Structure 1
Amino acid sequence: MRLNVAATPASASTLATNKVLRNTYMLLSLTLLFSAFTAGLAMMLNMPPLGMIVTMVGYFGLLFATTKFSNSALGLVFIFALTGFMGLTLGPIINMYLSAFSNGHELVMTALGGTGVIFIALSGYALTTRKDFSFLGGFLMVGILVAFLAGIGAMIFSIPAMSLAVSGMFILLMSGMILYQTSEIIHGGETNYILATISLYVSIYNLFLSLLQLLGVFGGDD
């Protein structure tokens, strides 16, 4: 005699959540590897910085395309295009630190290690405790907008103190984004693994750059 056991709504929801989580971390790993490859390529070719306008147009254009096609196979194409492009922007920045500081390699590796530790710790905390961090959403959006505009102002008007403050803000905001996005996946608020991957990738990218800038100021040897 065969028994047919129908899946309960709760178990079906758990399976769906686990699938989104698994796909997100799989895609995130692949995009980080691809981004590292393009960054290494840019370093090897000694590419010059792309400039603020090209970087902004490329980033927001590819971000829009990735979001628009996030429910189709084209979304995968655009997310790799986006993360590959961001890797190209990262290569010249790393080269600058390697040439500007005698301990440049140490600074880059420390920033990379710090980024990894923060991401693993915060993701692990959100996954283990399963706390709902959705309340952070509005605060993070406003904070990121303010920090972004302040960063552009610091760049245009060459205000080093403001740049440092923005870097500190971004470290806190990106840490909050990691908690928020992981929580959204766990509690079913985010069901699209492409969009979840974008959010986590951008958080990791900005976290690394912010840590690198602070380390360069406070720990760099000219």
Structure 2
Amino acid sequence: MAEYQTVRTAPGVRTAEIDAGLRAHMNKVYGTMSVGMLITALAAWAISGLAVTSDPSATGIMIREGEYLSGLGAAIYTSPLRWVVMLAPLAFVFFGWGAMMRRASSGAVQLAFFAFAALIGLSLSSIFLVFTDYSIVQTFLVTAIAFSGLSLWGYTTKKDISGWGSFLIMGVIGLLVAMVINMFLGSPAMMFAISAIGVLIFAGLTAFYTQDIKNTYVAHAAHGDQEWLDKAAYDGALSLYISFLNMFQFLLMFMGNQE
């Protein structure tokens, strides 16, 4: 009789364990992403402060009345180094992250994520020289509210949205091509359209990635490979971090007030 009761209750117990593990896993994803966002914000703010000086003899490049680019600012924003700053995060995502997920320990993957967040802060620091602090904070809060709602929907919906992935990734590729073309055209109308479409694409990716993180955990939790699950949490945090960051930047095109 005792054996019979064990067989009867084991599936329920196992489900409860997976549910508890899933909650812990999602908390780790969101927690890691939040720390990454904080690192990015602090790095961007600190670097933007070092990039500005009141001494006109530093570089002679005025950005606002009474404010000039420092030597560091000129190196980051006007020299060929700006291409390294812009392209290094892309190189990391496309070429470095996958290799680390396969070969590195979970601790090394976590450190790599935080290093990536700091690198993004370096490339994002110029927004503090262009937009007012108030509009940056306002846009960040709007993005946080929208992101939370979209991610919650992706987590709770019973609808299978796995088919969105390939369509949305194709949209990202098209968006990148359009942005490169507009670098030469300089069309405000095209930039407006790119920003609007970009917000929609990364809103969809936020919900898609959240459901994918959930489904991936449930599919692999029974194997008990904690090292892999830890790395999967950092991988999920990176996906959601990138979605949030892009939503923020595209929304800033609409909501940001320039200095």
- Shorter-chain-normalised TM-score: which range? 0.7 to 0.9
**CA distance in structure 1 between the aligned counterparts of 2:237 and 2:113, rounded to whole angstroms:** 9
Say whether residues 1:60 and 2:100 are aligned partners.
no
Query: Contact 2:43–2:121 (CA<8 Å) still a contact in 1?
Result: yes
**CA distance in structure 2 between the aligned counterparts of 1:206 and 1:94, rounded to whole angstroms:** 16
| 2:77 counterpart SS class | coil
- Structure 2: runs of 5+ lacking an equivalent: 52-72, 220-228
Query: Contact 1:24–1:196 (CA<8 Å) still a contact in 2?
Result: yes
**CA distance in structure 2 between the aligned counterparts of 1:221 and 1:58, rounded to whole angstroms:** 27
**CA distance in structure 2 between the aligned counterparts of 1:18 and 1:188, rounded to whole angstroms:** 13
Aligned CA-pair RMSD:
2.7
* Equivalence for 1:194: 234
**CA distance in structure 2 between the aligned counterparts of 1:195 and 1:79, rounded to whole angstroms:** 9
Q: Residue 205 and residue 145 in structure 1: after superposition, are their counterparts in 2 closer, same or farther (change >3 A)?
A: same
Q: Percent identity?
A: 24
Q: TM-score by structure 2 length? A: 0.73
Say whether residues 1:96 and 2:127 are aligned partners.
no
Query: Contact 1:39–1:91 (CA<8 Å) still a contact in 2?
Result: yes
- Give the C-alpha shift of residue 210 in structure 1: 0.6
Say whether residues 1:29 and 2:29 are aligned partners.
no
Query: Contact 2:130–2:258 (CA<8 Å) still a contact in 1?
Result: no
Q: Residue 131 and residue 55 in structure 1: after superposition, are their counterparts in 2 closer, same or farther (change >3 A)?
A: farther
- Give the C-alpha shift of residue 74 in structure 1: 1.8
Query: Contact 1:70–1:76 (CA<8 Å) still a contact in 2?
Result: no
Say whether residues 1:160 and 2:164 are aligned partners.
no
- Give the C-alpha shift of residue 153 in structure 1: 1.2
* Equivalence for 1:18: 23
* Equivalence for 1:83: 117
Query: Contact 1:122–1:175 (CA<8 Å) still a contact in 2?
Result: yes
- Give the C-alpha shift of residue 165 in structure 1: 1.0
**CA distance in structure 2 between the aligned counterparts of 1:39 and 1:177, rounded to whole angstroms:** 25
Amino acid at match of 2:165: G
Q: TM-score by structure 1 length? A: 0.84
Q: Residue 181 and residue 167 in structure 1: after superposition, are their counterparts in 2 closer, same or farther (change >3 A)?
A: same
Say whether residues 1:176 and 2:186 are aligned partners.
no
Deviations 1:122-177 (A, max 9, x none): 12222333543212111101101001111111123322221111111110011001
Deviates further, 67-76 or 160-169: 67-76
**CA distance in structure 1 between the aligned counterparts of 2:237 and 2:258, rounded to whole angstroms:** 35
| 2:163 counterpart SS class | helix
Say whether residues 1:106 and 2:137 are aligned partners.
no
- Give the C-alpha shift of residue 193 in structure 1: 1.0
* Equivalence for 2:255: 215
- Give the C-alpha shift of residue 60 in structure 1: 2.2
Amino acid at match of 2:171: G
Query: Contact 1:123–1:178 (CA<8 Å) still a contact in 2?
Result: yes
* Equivalence for 2:157: 129
Amino acid at match of 2:161: F
* Equivalence for 1:204: 244
- Give the C-alpha shift of residue 20 in structure 1: 2.6
**1:143-158 residue pairs with structure 2 within 5 A?**
143-158=171-186
- Structure 1: runs of 5+ lacking an equivalent: 98-103
| 1:142 counterpart SS class | helix
* Equivalence for 1:119: 147
Say whether residues 1:39 and 2:44 are aligned partners.
yes
The structure number with the bigger radius of gyration is: 2
